[in-house]
Structure 1
Amino acid sequence: MKTQTPVRLSPAAELIAAFVATGSTLGDRADLAHFLRAHHLAAEGAIPITLADLDEAIALREGIRAVLDPSAEPDQEALARGQKVLDGLRVTVRLQPSREQLAPAVVDEVRRGLARLAGAWAAVLATGEWRHLRL
C-alpha cells in the first residue's frame, strides 16, 4: 500500500485555505474585520468596512471556492463575480524579491487586505499549490 506524503503548504496557500474555509463565519462586517486582523491583512484598530466591501470579500471567496471545488463543474457566476473583484483591485509587482511579490497599491484598509489575498492567490496559482487545497 502506497502512503501519500503530506504536503506542507506555503504561507500564501495557508492564507487562501483559511479564507475559503470562512464559510458562514464571514457573515457580517465584524467577521471580515476579525479575519483581516487575524491574518495580518489589516492593521489593528477600527476598520471602516462597508456592505460593499463585505460583498466583495464574499464574492472573491466564492470565486476561489468555485475553482477549488473538485466535486462540481465551476460555478460560472461565482467565477465572474470573483474575477470582477480581482479586476478592481490595484496591486503592484515588487522588483526585488520579498515576502509579497504582488503588493497592494491602495490605501483603503479593506481593499489592501483583499489585494493581499489576490497576491496570495496569484502565488498559489503560479506554484500549482491550488491543486493541494481542499474545501
Structure 2
Amino acid sequence: MTTPTQQSPAAALVQAFVSTGDGLADRADLAAFLRKHRLAAEGSIPITMADFEEAVSLRDALAAQLRRAGGAAYDDEAIARGQRILDGLRVTVRLEPPEDELELLAPAVVDEVRRGLARIAGAWAAVLATGEWRAITV
C-alpha cells in the first residue's frame, strides 16, 4: 500500500492554473479564478485585454513546460512567451519566512492582475525549488 501525498499549496495553485483550459475564456473568468484562489481582493478587478492575454500566455507556458517534462508534445514558443511574462513581473523575496507558502516571492506591484500573476510565479518558483513540479499533471 502506498501513502497518498498531498500537494503543497504552491503545487495546488499551479495545478489549478494550468488546468483552467477553456474555463479561462474571458476576463470575467480570470477575475473569478483570481478571487477563488485569493490572488486578488474581493470586488471589481479592472482587467484589460492585455492582462487577460498575459494570464493565458503564462498558463499556456506552464502547461507546455509540464508537458515537455512529461515527454509529451509541447510548444516552444508558448514557453518563450511565458518566460517574457515572468521576466516582466516584479516580485520581491521575503527576508523572513512567510506564514503563507504562496508568499515566498511577494508581488512588488499594486495592480491586482499582475499581483495575482506574480503570486502564481512565486508558486511556480516554489515547486521548482522543491522538485514538486514534476508531479503536476496537465
| TM-score (normalised: structure 2) | 0.93
How big is the shift at 1:7? Answer: 2.1
How big is the shift at 1:8? Answer: 1.1
Alignment of 1:72-87 (within 5 A): 72-87=72-87
User: C-alpha offsets along residues 36-80 of structure 1, whole Å, 9 cap, x if unaligned?
Assistant: 000000000000000000000000000000111124243210100
1:92 maps to which residue?
Answer: 92
Q: What do you get for the CA RMSD once the two structures are aligned?
A: 1.1
Q: Give secondary structure in 2 for the equivalent of 1:54.
A: helix
Alignment of 1:1-135 (within 5 A): 3-69=1-67, 70-98=70-98, 99=100, 100-135=103-138
| TM-score (normalised: structure 1) | 0.95
Q: Give secondary structure in 2 for the equivalent of 1:106.
A: coil
Which whole-Å CA distance do the structure 1 matches of 2:105 and 2:10 have between them? 11
Aligned length: 133
Residue identity opposite 1:9 in structure 2: Q
Instruction: Point out where structure 2 has 5 or more consecutive residues left out of the alignment.
Output: none
- Indicate the percent of aligned positions where both proteins have the same amino acid: 67
How big is the shift at 1:4? Answer: 4.2
Q: Give secondary structure in 1 for the equivalent of 2:47.
A: coil
